[in-house]
C-alpha cells in the first residue's frame, strides 16, 4: 500500500486527484477536509466548516425589517397624498405658519385666491407682513399667546394688499418637534359670503376623494 501522503479516493474508493490532504490527526482550517483514522485502521476524510444558520436567520430578519419599512413608507406616502388633496380642495383659506420665524410653510389654493398671490410666492413670506401695519403687533401677540397657551386664538385684521377685513383663527400644533400654527381666514362675523366653497369642510372633501 502506498504511503498516506499519496493515497487517492475516487468513486471506487480512492482519493480524488488534486485533493487537499493533511496529516492524520492534524487539525485543518474551516472549510477544508481533514484526514483521520477510522475503524479497522482505514483512512477517512472529515469535512469541517462553520454553521451559517445563525447568519442566515439574521439576514432573513433584516430582509423582513426592510420590507416592513417599505410598507410603512408607502402608507405614509399615501397618507401625505390624501392630505395634500384634501388641503388643496378645501374652500377655506388655510396657511401653515412656522411658530418660530412666522414664515408661511404651506398654503392652499383658497388662500392663494384670497391673498392674490400664487402659492409659491406665499411660501417663505412672513405672515405678519400680509396684514396692514396697524394690525401686525396685535397679530404677533396673538400668535405668541396661542403658542404659549396651546389653545386657539382669533381676531379680525385687515389684509394689506387686498384691503379686506378677515377673521383670523389660529390653532397651535407641533410637527416634527417644531411649533407651528394652523391659520384660517374667513369673512368676519356678519359679512355676506357669496361663495359656498368657503364653508366646505374636510368631511365634504373626504366624500369626493377616490379610493386609494
Q: What is the pLDDT of residue 198?
A: 47
Q: What is the pLDDT of residue 178?
A: 85
How far apart (Å, rounded) are the C-alpha atoms in residues 15 and 74? 58
The CA-atom distances, in angstroms, between 16 and each of 4, 13, 29, 38, 182 are 13, 9, 19, 18, 79
How far apart (Å, rounded) are the C-alpha atoms in residues 35 and 44? 6
Q: Do residues 173 and 164 make contact, with C-beta atoms less than 8 angstroms apart?
A: no
Question: What does pTM read for this prediction?
Answer: 0.59
Q: What is the pLDDT of residue 209?
A: 46
Q: What is the pLDDT of residue 204?
A: 53
> Among 108, 111, 115, 120, which residue's Cα sits nearest to residue 130?
115
Q: What is the pLDDT of residue 74?
A: 92
Q: Do residues 183 and 170 make contact, with C-beta atoms less than 8 angstroms apart?
A: yes
- Tens-binned pLDDT, residue by residue, of the chain (212 aa): 444 444 444 554 444 544 444 444 455 555 555 555 555 556 666 666 777 888 889 999 999 999 999 999 999 999 888 888 888 888 899 999 999 999 999 999 999 999 999 999 999 999 999 999 999 999 999 999 999 999 999 999 999 988 899 999 999 998 778 889 999 999 988 765 554 444 455 445 545 544 44
Q: What is the pLDDT of residue 210?
A: 47
How many Cα atoms occupy the beta-carbon half-sphere of 159 within 13 Å? 20
How many Cα atoms occupy the beta-carbon half-sphere of 176 within 13 Å? 1
Q: Do residues 171 and 154 make contact, with C-beta atoms less than 8 angstroms apart?
A: no
Q: Do residues 150 and 172 make contact, with C-beta atoms less than 8 angstroms apart?
A: yes
Amino acid at each position: 500500500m502506498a504511503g498516506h501522503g499519496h493515497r487517492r479516493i475516487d468513486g471506487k474508493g480512492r482519493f480524488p486527484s488534486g485533493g487537499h490532504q493533511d496529516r492524520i490527526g492534524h487539525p485543518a482550517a474551516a472549510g477544508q477536509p481533514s484526514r483521520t483514522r477510522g475503524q479497522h485502521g482505514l483512512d477517512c476524510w472529515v469535512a469541517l466548516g462553520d454553521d451559517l444558520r445563525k447568519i442566515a436567520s439574521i439576514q432573513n430578519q433584516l430582509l423582513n425589517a426592510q420590507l416592513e419599512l417599505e410598507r410603512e413608507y408607502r402608507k405614509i406616502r399615501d397618507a401625505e397624498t390624501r392630505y395634500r388633496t384634501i388641503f388643496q380642495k378645501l374652500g377655506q383659506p388655510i396657511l401653515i405658519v412656522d411658530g418660530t420665524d412666522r414664515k408661511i410653510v404651506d398654503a392652499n389654493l383658497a388662500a392663494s385666491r384670497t391673498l392674490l398671490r400664487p402659492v409659491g410666492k406665499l411660501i417663505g413670506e412672513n405672515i405678519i407682513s400680509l396684514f396692514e401695519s396697524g394690525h401686525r403687533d396685535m397679530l404677533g401677540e396673538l400668535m405668541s399667546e396661542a403658542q404659549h397657551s396651546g389653545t386657539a386664538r382669533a381676531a379680525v385684521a385687515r389684509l394689506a394688499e387686498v384691503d379686506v377685513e378677515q377673521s383670523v383663527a389660529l390653532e397651535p400644533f407641533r410637527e416634527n418637534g417644531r411649533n407651528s400654527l394652523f391659520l384660517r381666514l374667513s369673512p368676519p362675523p356678519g359679512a355676506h359670503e357669496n361663495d359656498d366653497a368657503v364653508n366646505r369642510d374636510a368631511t365634504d372633501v373626504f366624500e369626493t376623494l377616490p379610493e386609494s
